[in-house]
Amino acid sequence: MNTPWNYNSAPAEIILRNSTMDPDEQQQLKGWLYDIATDRDKAAFTALFSWFAPKIIRFGIQKLNTESAANELLQETMSNIWRKAHLFDGDKGQATTWVYSIMRNLSFDMLRKVRSNREDTLSDDIWPIAEAELIEDNVFDDHLMSTHILKHINTLPEAQKEIVNGLYFQDLSQEQLATKLAIPLGTVKSRLRLALVKLKQQIGESK
């Protein structure tokens, strides 16, 4: 913290250096994440794990200094990926950026635990998932709202189907649905998100 930061600084436009990531590889990572989200696909998870593990370990050792902390970071990051894959939106960014954010947040909380002896997890508030962006309002625009989407909706698990039906065919709000089904609003959002990932993928495949 000894850098003499200037008092009045104008922000400079940051120029991106060329990423060395191969686009095919990025596509592969996205594919694995979708498979985890929609099918709880362990093979896809294993592939993703093998791809990220050495890199997460390297990051962990650099930021947290010990091998055991790096291993904990790996375990926590991969476990978050397993449980949050449905929250990843491949249209908004790369899989690497998404995984990086998860890893960085966990590393931040671990570092804070060491430096300040606090167990709070402030990273979720400092780098929140923007829910408003996550659940777009106009997901079912006209061309999606055709009859052929109906058969896809029918393939959804019951819990997701009742959310989609309630929102788009009974015109209920997310809040009304939460009350009606006696579940938290966050659960409505998660189920909707999961349903959208599945529908998008199926519609994409059948095109």
Partner 1 sequence: MITHHPKHELLSAFVEGELPASLSAAIAVHAEMCEICAKNIQHLTEESAANFFSPDVKTYNSYSDKPASNTAATDELSYEFMIDSITEDESIAELVVQEPLEIEIKGSTYQLPTALRSMSMMGWQKMGKLSRARLNLNEGALHSSLLHIDKDGGVPSHTHKGFELTLLLEGSFEDEMGTYVKGDFIWLTDKNTHTPHTTEGCLCYTVADDALQFIQGLSKLLNPIGAFIY
Nearer to partner 1, 149 or 178 (CB): 178
Instruction: Please select the residue that binds partner 1; options are 4, 24, 68, 132, rule is CB under 8 A.
Output: 4
Q: Is 151 near partner 1 (CB under 8 A)?
A: no
Burial (0-12, 13-18, 19+ Cβ within 10 Å), 99: buried
Cβ atoms of 33 and 90 within 8 Å: the answer is yes
Cβ atoms of 163 and 177 within 8 Å: the answer is yes
Cβ partners under 8 Å of residue 101, min gap 6: 127
Residues 50-79 as x/- pattern, contact with partner 1 by CB under 8 A = x-xx-x-xxx-xxx---x---x--xx--xx
Residues 97-136 as x/- pattern, contact with partner 1 by CB under 8 A = x-xxx--xx-xx--xx--xxxx-xxxx-xxxxx-x--x--
Nearer to partner 1, 99 or 164 (CB): 99
Nearer to partner 1, 130 or 142 (CB): 130
Please name which of 18, 78, 91, 12 lies closest in space to residue 51, comparing C-alpha atoms.
78
Nearer to partner 1, 17 or 207 (CB): 17
Nearer to partner 1, 115 or 207 (CB): 115
The three-state (H, E, C) secondary structure of 74-107, written as one string: HHHHHHHHHHHHHHCCCCCCCHHHHHHHHHHHHH
State the Cα angle at 158 between 93 and 206, rounded to 5°.
Answer: 50
Query: Contact region for partner 1 (CB under 8 A) — 45-53, 143-151, 152-160, 162-170?
Result: 45-53
Q: Total residues at the site for partner 1 (CB under 8 A)? A: 83
Q: How far is Cα 35 from Cα 191, in angstroms, rounded to an integer? A: 16
Nearer to partner 1, 150 or 185 (CB): 185
Query: Contact region for partner 1 (CB under 8 A) — 81-89, 145-153, 155-163, 165-173?
Result: 81-89
